[in-house]
Every structure is written in structure tokens, then in C-alpha cells.
Amino acid sequence: MMKRDECLKVLARHRTNEIVVSVYKAAQEWIHISPSELNYTFVGAMGQGSSHGLGLALGRPDKRVIVLDGDGSLLMNLGTLVTIANAAPKNLIHCVCENGTYETNGAVPIPRAGSVDFPGMARAAGYPKTYEFADLQEWDREVDSILKEDGPVLVDLKMEPGEDYPEDFRRLYNIQFREAFRSAFQK
């Protein structure tokens, strides 16, 4: 099991110019770990992160998009797996931050916590490639090549809370940051 902030720091070290869509706890930590105008956190409703990511990826096939989804979030929008597989964006990497709980809402376990096979569901939906990581060194070894693969790819990251980061809801949802993202993205 990886600490979430350590897992995200690995991703940040390998990030070049990718768009990163993130939700809830991962978003609150990602904006501190890898600050960038190309961080998209404006998802607006639970479960919708991967759908925003699909729109971004389809609109700009020349740019790579990484989604840091939650496990509870993905369960709320499971049809997205079929929608994404059907649209088949080559530039989309869909990571699931599997912490087994609705952490933002009081850390109640998700249904069948620890037993839901997210990579299996993604493969059944039509994702050509899936990965699963619970070990930080292994994730560090593989992440670079995964980021270069043709998507859609699903990466299940098994994690638990690590260091605490200050919550910044203004950075996550304020329209001025969305507009800054839009300008940076369209450059």
C-alpha cells in the first residue's frame, strides 16, 4: 500500500507537460505537490472527473491528459469506463486513487472496499491496457513508460492517506483558475 502523497510525488517527478484532472483528496494534495496552470480541478460534481478528462482529451488529441479519479467517484460513474473505451482517446491515462473509503466525507468504506476489481472492470469495458500498483518503487519504475503509452489506460493505485496538506477549495473551484487553465491549455 502506498502513501497517497508519496505516490503523487512520484507522478509529479515524471510529469512533463501533461494536463492533470484531479478530484477530492488527490486534488487537494496534487495542487501542492505539482502546482501548475495545467491542473484541472473544476469537476463540479462527484464522479465527473473522468468525463471532464475525456472532453479535454478529445478536444486536444495533441496533448496528454491524466485523470486522478477516486474509487468512490468512479463507482458513481461506472458507465464512464464504457464511454471512454468507446471513444478510445489515445491521449488519456485514467488513474484510480484507490483508498477504499469516501475519505472527504468521513472515511466510510466504499461498498466492497478492497475487493472491487477496477482494472478488471476497465478491461471488460474495453480499455486495452490496465495496471495495478501497491508498491511505490514498482510505480516509480513503470510510470514513465505508462505515461507514453497509447490510451485509454487505467492505472489502479492502491493507497492510504499520507501527510496532511492544507485544503484549498478556492484553488479547486474558483472560476479564475478555470479561466487560467483554459488560456494555458489552448496555447
Partner 1 sequence: MVDSEDTINAEDIIKEIKKAGIRFVIALPDRTTTQSLLKTIMQDSDLRVVQVCKEDEGISICSGLYCAGERALLLIQYTGLLDSINALRGVAMEGKNPVCMMVGLLGKKPGVPPTNAARYGLRIVEPILDAMEIKHHLLETTEDNAKIVPAIEQAYARSGPVVMLIGREPL
Please give the residue ranges that form the binding site for partner 1 (CB under 8 A): 40, 42-45, 47-48, 51-60, 77, 79-80, 82-83, 86-87, 173, 175, 178, 181-182, 185-186
Q: Please give the Cα distance from 79 to 132 (Å, whole number).
A: 20
Report, in Å, the least distance between residue 81 CB and partner 1. 9
Return the number of the residue (13 or 90) whose C-beta is nearest partner 1: 90
Q: Please give the Cα distance from 34 to 145 (Å, whole number).
A: 19
Report, in Å, the least distance between residue 98 CB and partner 1. 21
Among candidate residues 170, 162, 177, the one with its CA nearest the CA of residue 33? 162
Return the number of the residue (77 or 162) whose C-beta is nearest partner 1: 77
Residues 6+ apart with CB under 8 A from 49: 21, 22, 23, 43, 67, 68, 69, 70, 73
Return the number of the residue (62 or 164) whose C-beta is nearest partner 1: 62
Return the number of the residue (1 or 184) whose C-beta is nearest partner 1: 184
